[in-house]
Structure 1
Amino acid sequence: MGESGVRGTWGLRAVMSAGLALILWGEIARPGAAGLHSAGPGVSAALVVASASWVAVTFVGPRGGSRTLLILVLATGLAGSVLLVLHPTLAVFWFTFWACVGAGADFPPRAGATVVIGSCCILLVGYLEHRGNALAGYAAVAFVAYLLGRNRKLYVDMARQALRAADDRERAAALAERARIARELHDVLAHSLTSLSLQVEAASAALETTGDLQRALSHLEQAGRLVRGGQEEAIAAVRALREGDVAAQAMVERLVDAFRETGGQVTLRVTGLVPPLPAPHGLAVYRLVQEALTNAAKHAPGAPVDVHFSFTDDGLAVSVTNDAVAAAATPVSGGNGLVGMRERIAAVGGTLTVGRVGAQWRVHARVGA
């Protein structure tokens, strides 16, 4: 019947065809008056309708549309019930049984109910007229068959919904990963361009003010190293997102070394043993320090910068402080600025405070363990 019922595969169609053949063979081969060969025209007509509908459901129904299929299933059930009233044997009951199973498995409740109600009404009328106790039992079993089909439909629908939900989760995870990678690449590019711009400006200033060609070349060489470092950083960031945990402390140490190579004065202090962090947490901390160092170089050039890592049972605290200047409060850099910092730290359940502390400008974040 439906894809979720007894007509879903060729194997089940073959089973239905074999079942019909066995029913007909068993009934025709029965000796004496009990066999179909001695039955009247009413039995023969009901048998022809039930058999033809059965064959149509098995081979034609899947291509005929839901309305056509419902009519065929209904015809099978009604004709089978009439046949059962006229010739009450267990063999012919399978027409009604399979029709009721398909009604529950392949159609909405209201449409499927027409099959089982119609079939049961015929059986009950036959019971009232002939007082055949077996007919009442057949009606009860037909209703149970409908419930079995209905249960099958619910099971298949739930399985399909679970598969769709799993597909949706996979797509959402893929989109989230792409978004994280895009954000990392954006921040790497923004930081690299900002640092590159500073080096080019320094080279230009060296040529314009003092004509120091060697110093200008040194700044340009540093700019080249920044470009190569940006490429390596982008690759490392994508790898970190896919591998899981990252060594945030080691990444920050390399960042501090690179900052020192550009002439910055940076002190790195670590309290406690900082373990590898989940990629989102570790990269958030790394970008925070990177953004803070870039802002310090831009707004307080030459001022000493202190980077402090403190790891406890409550999590990791990171502070970046430097001498406060008027422009230091401006949330600019090549990246997302203070807004980007807050978004990254908030995304991993952390907190961020930025502002003056006495004569110092401090960026302080805390990320859970």
Structure 2
Amino acid sequence: MAELSDALASLTARARKTLLRPPEPLSRRRVYVIIGAIVGLGNLVGNVVVNREALKPIDLAFMVATLVLVTLIPLRPVPSVMAYLACWVLLLLIPSADFADMTITNLAFLFFLGRFFPPWPAFSMLLTTLLIEAVLLMSLSSPGNEIANSLGTLWYMALMGALLVPLGALVRFIEASRLADAEQADAQLEEMRLEIAREMHDLVAYSMSQTALRAQRAAADTSYPDRARDEFTALEATASDALHELRLLLRTLRRPSSEQEQSVSTTTGLGNAVTDLTIAVGAVSADVSSAGFDITYRHLGEVVPTRIQASTLSRVAREMGANIIRHGDPHASVTMTLSLGPEVIRLVSTNRVRDTSAHLPRSGTGILGMRERLAAIGGTLTTLSDNGSWMVTATVPVAESRPILLTTEKNS
């Protein structure tokens, strides 16, 4: 008795789990809704074409009902399947109704059984349906041709069930396998992202902190000349600014991707770090000048970029400045021009290469990173070399709607 009670409790729990199981995402069910609607319409149109005379109201009612039910099965599998089975039983019980009213929709119904239910419940429903159909057909049929027709209908349903229910189960298994593979890949990417965050924190952030601290101490040491102390102060400011942005980025990298509903530039706060693009580019030109280059910085136009445009272009300007310091000839003039509108925002830098006999800088990770940043906001990056000179141009289209003016925000 206790074993029977446990078995009933297990069956009840399984039934409750099946009934209360949350539906799959609509994006994965939409194609099956379309399939159900097409099959239901095909059943209706096919019966109208085959039966030249006017359909009886009872037949038309069954065809419309099955059209609605096979369309709803992907959305609400359990109640829709129960309703469809009830409709099928009614069709068998009503003498004036025709079996052909649900012939085509039965195919979609059997396929959906295998697709939206686990194998055991799907085959159990199929066997139950065939058993009920056999009992009703045998009990309601009279001797003669009607019995042969009833057996033909039963065998047809059994054959289609043996083909379509496993086909639906196979599709279910394939989609579940693909989803599991995607989840495994996401988990691996998540672990890789966390590992990168840990390494950057332990190595890069530590080194930058030490650099900023030592530069601060050197700037406060009166034994150094004033010019050297100014350089140490500038170095401390640069390292502290980079360290701040690195920590914001690490905070985002450590956050689970499922919680990152906004872009990285928004979640890190980097999109708000730049309050004035002209000042940001001017600061880059000042860094280049401090490195010993004769640079001319100009800005034209009055178009106000969006936050993400200002943030992206400021980082592109930093990479341009770094490339100038790394590869440029300090004895040649350098230019950096920012054009704000009217149709595009354009940032151009020109310089000569330190050694004209050497190859010009290639499109390595720095150039690639600038291209990727600009492509994310619809911009482009072009490079040009001519007789030892190097020019880089970043172009971003002006937003159609006027953005809100940039304001300074404090980070907590």
TM bracket, shorter-chain basis: 0.3 to 0.5
Q: Which has the higher helix share?
A: 1
Task: Flag the structure with more relative contact order, 1 or 2, with Cα contacts below 8 A and sequence separation at least 6.
Answer: 1
TM-score in terms of structure 2 length = 0.41
TM-score in terms of structure 1 length = 0.45
